[in-house]
A and B are shown apart, each in its own frame.
Chain A
Amino acid sequence: MALSIHKGMYESSLMDRSQPFRYCVATHKLPEIILVIMGQKNSKLRVTETDRAVLQLKRSKDEIHKFTRRTDSLISQERGTLKQLIRENPSAYKKDVKVRFLLKRIHYQETLLQQASDQLINLENMASTLEFKLIEKQFINGLKNGNDILTKLNREFEKENVSELMDNVQDQIAYQEEIDGILSQSIAGVNDYEDEIDKELDQMEAEVLAKELPSTDHVAPIQVPQTKPEQVSKPEGEPEPEREREREPVALLS
């Protein structure tokens, strides 16, 4: 009877365990993640909107980079020709329109270059800010995911379920104790068993002595009441060893 009740409880506790299984179902995306890690699926390689934005930024950065290089080489080239013009006409080069024009052009190119490098720095800053923001986004996502899982896990620990589970556990423990009791009874504790053996031996001894005693009892009542006990005991001879035997067990018992 008790066993069958406990069995039923065990089954109900199994039913409670089906909830962690539901959690497993919720994370059925796991194999996909493993696939991505193994490189079987390239869903992680998707190009996102932010990637596009960064790309746009980097492309303009590259363009400015190209422009600065071009302007740089142009300036050094024009400086070269300017120096040559000065060398060719050392006396009147200051009045030469061509020389003046060339120098103005160089100055203009230099301001352009300055602007371009400023823009380049801006773009680079922008790109690194974007990259950092992306990392921040990942950080927030990580926190969010962690929180989601934590709430999900906490939901598994609903008070009712937990108390029910604890009750079940207690029942199981009680059941186990009951079984332990039954098992130890059937085996019979070693000490108890020895005691019982002793007891039984005593009982048997008592029985044996009880059987032998009546013979002396039979003899004694007839002759002891007589006024001459010495005379009686001497001719018979037999009762004396019996008395000795009577004493021995007494000594043993004590």
Chain B
Amino acid sequence: MQPLPPIYSFPPLYTRQPNSIIRNQQLNAWIDLILQYARENKCWTMAKTGTSTADPKFNIFHNESIQRSVSPMFIDEIWALMIKQSKAIVNNDNNNNYFILWQNIDSWASLILQWFEDSNKLNQVVTIYELSQGDETINWEFHQMPEPLLILALKPLCKRNRATMLKDEDGAPIAIKVI
């Protein structure tokens, strides 16, 4: 794991600051930390408690080396702000999980579109599983993106009439065709 910036070992970061200006900075520092951790470790989801799904032993809100942790109330505040800024999305399949968006949905959509164009997959049916797990996306940042998040990231393409979703018998999207 890449080391987090020095501020992660700064004890006052773990206590909710009473001054609102300082608290805003504190909240933004936390959001930056979470996004940086998620990007570097490809941690697509994080539990509400801060436990990384990429590494169950790691909890971002608990720093053992300085013996500090964030209070549950303040954790909720951080998550609320992240959701407001569209940097986290509640996972509908598992309500205790958040998807971490170190890139916003539209950037993911254009990155995926670029993959479709670069690998000549236009006008072909590609399954969501293939996009996320297939060998052809290994060198792309969206490789191994959880399928529900991937579906969210593909929606802008459908809205722009660049793509259409193919659904299975239960109506759940399983594949996409981009033109």
Contacts and interface: CB of A to CB of B under 8 A. Distances in A.
A and B: bona fide binding partners: yes
Interface of A: 39-42, 44-47, 51-52, 54-55, 58-59, 62, 65-66, 131
Contact of B166 (A42, A55, A65): A55
8 pairs of A and B residues whose beta carbons are closest in the complex: A45-B164, A62-B129, A39-B161, A54-B125, A42-B161, A58-B127, A55-B125, A51-B125
Contacts of A40: 161
Interface string B146-179: 0000000000000011111010100000110101
Nearest to A57: B125
Contacts of B175: 55, 58-59
Given A45-B177, A65-B133, A59 B127 contact: yes
Contacts of A41: 161
Nearest to B166: A55
Most chain A beta-carbon neighbours within 10 Å: one of B129, B133, B134, B168:
B129
Chain B's interface size range is 10 to 19
B82 to A, nearest CB: 32
Contacts of B127: 55, 58-59, 62
14 contacts: A40-B161, A44-B179, A45-B164, A47-B164, A47-B166, A51-B166, A55-B127, A55-B166, A58-B130, A59-B174, A62-B127, A65-B133, A65-B134, A66-B129
Contacts of A46: 164
A131 B124 contact: yes
Given A59-B174, A65-B129, 11 more contacts: A39-B160, A42-B161, A42-B164, A45-B179, A46-B164, A47-B164, A51-B166, A58-B126, A58-B130, A65-B133, A131-B124
Nearest to B158: A45
